[in-house]
Structure 1
Amino acid sequence: MADAGTDPQDSLHSSHTYPKVKLLNVYVHDVTMDEVVENFTEGMMLTLHVDMIMKLQRDKEFYDIFDQFDLITCDSQVLYFATKFLGTPVQERVSGSDYFPRFYMHHKDNPDITVFLCGGQPGIAEIAAKNINKKVGREIIVGTDAPSFDFDQNQAETDQMIDRINASGATVLLVGLGGGRQEKFIIRYRDRMPNIKLYLPLGGTIDYEAGTFKRPPAWITEGGFEWLYRLLKEPRQRWHRYVVHEPPVLWRLAAQRLGFYRDPFAK
């Protein structure tokens, strides 16, 4: 992977460059929510949070495709605080679940923007589509699909998903298939979806838009305690992720600050 210091710049559009801020073996772009909403209309987004950065310590396939994404935002208040701790602060947290409502309202009168929602439990994406279309005042969501958990083990199901996406005529694809899996799906099959201009792998955003999972109050998110809110709401589903899987990131970030961190995939 290319070096990810704070000096290199990445060009997302001909008129926009955004500095990179290193976090362990990857990075985020120092970009504001307004810049993303107004300027990022074509390419592939990745929203980096703690669960994802831990997967990037262990999943070589995921790590190897990371650099192919055009925009990487800081989707975690914990990682936002980490950039300050490391002495390279980003301007603000740009989470997918905050960004997407801003995105579709910004484009509510733009007929060139139509969206396909891919992910969630059966029926959830349809509820999200109805809610969004009602708020926007037009059919901006033009298709939905709820693939099975093991869709990526079934090529026929994957082919059907791609056919539905293409048949919808959507220009934007929001994929909520879980961190790592959704990004791999995009990289693997984007050449088969020629109408899609903007790829948004945004995890649980479909559930938020459907209202099946409520966002915590702003003071919880801004304080960096959204993980605790989710853990208390869904202890059985979230326990392993928040208690076992994610805490080691804090030790790795401390090691980066002290100059001891080593990229597990460095040659």
Structure 2
Amino acid sequence: MLADCLAARLSATPVTPKLVFSSNGQGVALAGTDLFFAKAMEQADWIHADGMSIVLASKRATTSLPERVATTDFFHDAAEVAVANGLSFYMLGGTEQQNRKACEAIAQLYPQLKLVGRRNGYFKPEEEEMVCADITNARPDVLWVAMGKPAQELWCVRNRDRLGGVAWIKTCGGLYAFLAGDAVRAPEWMQRWGLEWLHRALQEPGRLLWRYLVTNPNAIYRLIRYTR
């Protein structure tokens, strides 16, 4: 992240942002059923494993992944790097209340972090150009986008060329819910055993339980069938 942000700052012309996406069981299942999402994932410059299923499946590949990189954890690492090097963030997505609460929490955790702008994720397609203009005018080094899969990946690909000068566009799914205190991380042992999905499903059964019951078997099949 740091090298890309510094390079973007030194560039004589606005750089095209790098797309940084994450992959988990839901993403694997979606990629198998949604062609537009699969093509959007192919546009990413970086994809990290945000689910233990991806890490476990990689053990069957020539080069395995050493560990899971959860976006919720990565954000704090990125914030520390940003503070140390004067990088700036723009927080896009979520409801207005959740976005505001998340930014207030960030300001408390990292008072020296440069938050140059924020906006909820509820706007019409015809407003996208205006939203992108607001972001580029704020000149963030990293744009965090929390709209949920597949909407956030599709949005990033669709608007990438409108966001020249931003070094990284990082999707972050449910990050704001954790920052705002609306969701609680699973115990360490559940994270280690790849059961954080179960913890979240028990927290929000009405929204997540059915989703995981549908996507998990699909993801497991695809990871076994197509991992080489």
**So what's the TM-score if we normalise by structure 1?**
0.74
Instruction: Give the alignment's Cα RMSD to 1 decimal.
Output: 2.0
- 1:1-267 alignment runs, 5 A limit: 41=5, 43-85=18-60, 88-111=63-86, 113-148=87-122, 151=123, 154-256=124-226
Shift of 1:229: 0.5
Aligned length, in residue pairs: 217
Q: Secondary structure at the match of 2:84?
A: coil
Give 2:94's aligned amino acid.
G
Change (3 A) 1:38 1:157: closer
Higher RCO, Cα 8 Å, sep 6+: 2
- Please give the alpha-carbon distance, in whole angstroms, between the structure 2 residues aligned to 1:122 and 1:159: 19
Shift of 1:45: 0.7
Give 1:120's aligned amino acid.
G
Q: Secondary structure at the match of 1:57?
A: helix
String of CA shifts for 1:67-120, please: whole Å, max 9, x gaps.
Answer: 321111111012211222556421111121111111011221322x11111111
* Contact persistence 1:117–1:206 (CA under 8 A): no
* Contact persistence 2:4–2:167 (CA under 8 A): no
Can you give the 5+ residue segments of structure 1 that lack an aligned partner in the other structure? 1-36, 260-267
**So what's the TM-score if we normalise by structure 2?**
0.86
Indicate the percent of aligned positions where both proteins have the same amino acid.
25
- Please give the alpha-carbon distance, in whole angstroms, between the structure 2 residues aligned to 1:44 and 1:233: 30
Select between 232-241 and 164-173 the one with higher mean Cα deviation.
164-173
Change (3 A) 1:156 1:256: closer
- Please give the alpha-carbon distance, in whole angstroms, between the structure 2 residues aligned to 1:192 and 1:38: 22
Can you give the 5+ residue segments of structure 2 that lack an aligned partner in the other structure? 6-16
Select between 117-126 and 245-254 the one with higher mean Cα deviation.
245-254
* Contact persistence 1:169–1:195 (CA under 8 A): yes
